[in-house]
Amino acid sequence: DADVTQTPRNRITKTGKRIMLECSQTKGHDRMYWYRQDPGLGLRLIYYSFDVKDINKGEISDGYSVSRQAQAKFSLSLESAIPNQTALYFCATSDPLSLAGSDTQYFGPGTRLTVL
Amino acid sequence: LAKTTQPISMDSYEGQEVNITCSHNNIATNDYITWYQQFPSQGPRFIIQGYKTKVTNEVASLFIPADRKSSTLSLPRVSLSDTAVYYCLVVPVDRDDKIIFGKGTRLHILP
């Protein structure tokens, strides 16, 4: 969905480096999410934010941190990247009052991160 | 939050109707059932959502029995392009809570 953008789309980095993945949305949604996807493991929630002042841990938050700079921006940081953080990362937004369906999530195109 | 269980994978043939069943035994009174579709290297996209009985849209139908402990996503006359992973989710609407996607069902459509 072009309304949710992620940068970069691909990133290769080395163990121990600090990495930031950025997500921006023009949908005007208050809720934003970060997921990671590994082959065969589905989507796992890292962090989520229901508004600018609200940040919550998801299923697998260890090794990650987030920043909600504005309603439209939600960044994910890996303070010291390690190889098992190699994955496809998705950002999503949602609106609990969406006419499409309650709390329908809209996903960005994903960021493929490789940690060597 | 109610846990969902669905088959890991399914195969079917073009032109067939495909039914994917999901169990959610601990669903709460105000939870909705939602299905997403994901193609390789893309984010999931919303397909359909329901609370009870039957919901139909241009893509699929969703059948939910009276006890709401399970639901069935029905895809009519599938094509090769329906090959994807399908996720069943329970969405709370009366409280702020995270949504868990799980591993989904990998559907493979054969010619």
What per-residue confidence (pLDDT) applies to A39? 81
Tell me the count of A-B CB pairs closer than 8 A.
64
Residues A20-38 pLDDT 10s = 999 999 999 999 999 999 9
Alpha-carbon span A63 to A106, nearest angstrom: 25
Tokens of A49: 């934010």
Give A79's DSSP letter.
S
Contact B93 A102 (CB under 8 A): yes
pLDDT digits (tens, 9 = 90+) for A46-99: 999 999 999 999 999 999 999 999 999 999 999 999 999 999 999 999 987 766
Task: Output the pLDDT for position A100.
Answer: 62
Between CA A37 and CA A39 the distance in angstroms is: 7
The reported pLDDT for the residue numbered A4 is 96
Predicted local distance difference test score (pLDDT) of residue B11: 97
C-alpha span between A79 and B20 (Å, rounded): 40
Residue B31 DSSP SS3: strand
Rg (CA), chain B: 13
The answer to whether the beta carbons of residues B88 and B5 sit under 8 Å apart is no
CA distances from B15 to B21, B35, B48 (A): 19, 21, 21
Low-confidence ranges of chain B (pLDDT < 70): 1, 94-95
Indicate left, alpha or beta for B74 from its phi (over 0: left) and psi (-120 to 50: alpha). beta
Place of tokens 């893309």: B42
Whether the pLDDT of residue A40 is over 90: the answer is: no
Could you give the maximum distance between any two Cα atoms of chain A, in Å?
44
Please judge whether B43 and A102 are an interchain contact, meaning their C-beta atoms are less than 8 angstroms apart: no
| Cα–Cα distance, A37 to A43 (Å, whole number) | 5
| Beta strands B18-23; B53-56: pairing state | unpaired
Give the pLDDT band (50/70/90) at residue A2.
Answer: low
d(CA A67, CA B60): 37
Closest CA to B107 of B87, B89, B75, B83: B83
CB contact under 8 A, A108 and B44: no
pLDDT bin (cut points 50, 70, 90) of residue A101 is low
User: Which positions in chain A touch B5 (Cβ < 8 Å)?
Assistant: none
A 10 A CB-CB count for A80 gives 11
Q: How far is CA B79 from the centre of its chain?
A: 17
Ramachandran angles phi, psi of A85, nearest 5°: -95, 5
Asked if the Cβ–Cβ distance from B34 to A101 is below 8 Å, we say yes
Q: Are A79 and A30 in contact (CB under 8 A)?
A: no
Cβ-based neighbour number of residue B56 at 10 Å: 13
